[in-house]
Amino acid sequence: MTSPTAQATLRIASRRSQLAMVQTHWVRDALTQAHPGLEISIEAMATQGDKILDVALAKIGDKGLFTKELEAQMLVDRADIAVHSLKDLPTNLPEGLILGCITEREDPADALVVHERHRDRSLATLPEGSVVGTSSLRRLAQLRHHYPQLSFKDVRGNVITRLEKLDSGEFDCLILAAAGLQRLGLGDRIHELIDPAISLHAVGQGALGIECREGDTAVLERIAVLEHRPTALRCRAERAFLRQLEGGCQVPIGVNSRFTGPDNSGDLVLTGMVASLDGQRLIRDSVTGDAGDPEAIGEALALRLREQGAGAILEEIFASVRPEA
């Protein structure tokens, strides 16, 4: 492989949505600052998940909807890295590609965004029948479990498009990732951060994952400056949990991770949840372990939930949302 000093260019593959470009520009700027003289180019493209907006994500398949096109660019040597919202990156990557680093996490919480008419309401006090917009089966299942009196409707499109639909009156509220709103400069639209007791977040939510070719030493050394070890440990535990359950991003699996000590010290606590689509059954538990082996923590929690019936719930879901041939 080329040495870091010999490679003066870096090619980034990215989705072309507004949020993806904000995230990719952040990565570009951080790398430029760390490596003066490095020439960085960005190749933006639409993925399958960006193109199909009239069908629920779960109905068109859940693995790689937002990543396959970017990965193809690296595999044919047209890009060196791809920038992903880590929650969109499948836990099993194509042969020859690896997760090179994980950036420091923004707030991973889900956020409530309301129509103006509900500015004095909270999620718990929304009127019965209020229409909640979400494209996530994870959010849907948990909110149905806690607030069965609400009505839920699928919403697709980028963050701006979804907010426009909300403001036009099509929805009473939306559930979005707080991190995405913050990165877009729309933090003022966050009406309420949803407590993890109500909604555990998606695996990897709030962090960026930088994917690259396996064995590309030059690239790995360059992007190492972006790695945030505490975030990486937490997300590795979360991804191991999801991988062990064989769940994609469109399955009702939620997590929360934290360290027991101050300043990201101590053991790692991983909480996980699996729920049925109707929210009637929800299995939730936690495992605490040595942060030095995060994968073991994730796998142990997955096994614990399976023993409590999570496997049966997931099999039912896979059968009900499996894309048509």
Query: Tokens 């994968």 correspond to what residue?
Result: 295
Are 94 and 115 contacting, i.e. CB atoms less than 8 angstroms apart? no
88 is catalytic: yes
Comparing CA positions, the residue from 110, 99, 106, 104 lying closest to residue 231 is: 104
Specify whether the CB–CB gap between 215 and 149 falls below 8 A.
Answer: no
List the catalytic residue out of 88, 110, 172, 216. Answer: 88
The helices-and-strands tally (H runs, E runs) of the chain is: 10, 13
DSSP state of 168: T
Please name the residue that has the structure tokens 């849907």. 140
Q: What are 30's two structure tokens?
A: 């951080």
Q: Which amino acid is at 167?
A: D
Nearest in space to 31 (alpha carbons), one of 216, 210, 243, 213? 210
Q: How far from the centroid of its chain's Cα atoms is residue 222's Cα?
A: 24
Q: How far apart are CA 312 and CA 64, in angstroms?
A: 24
Residues with a catalytic annotation lie at 88
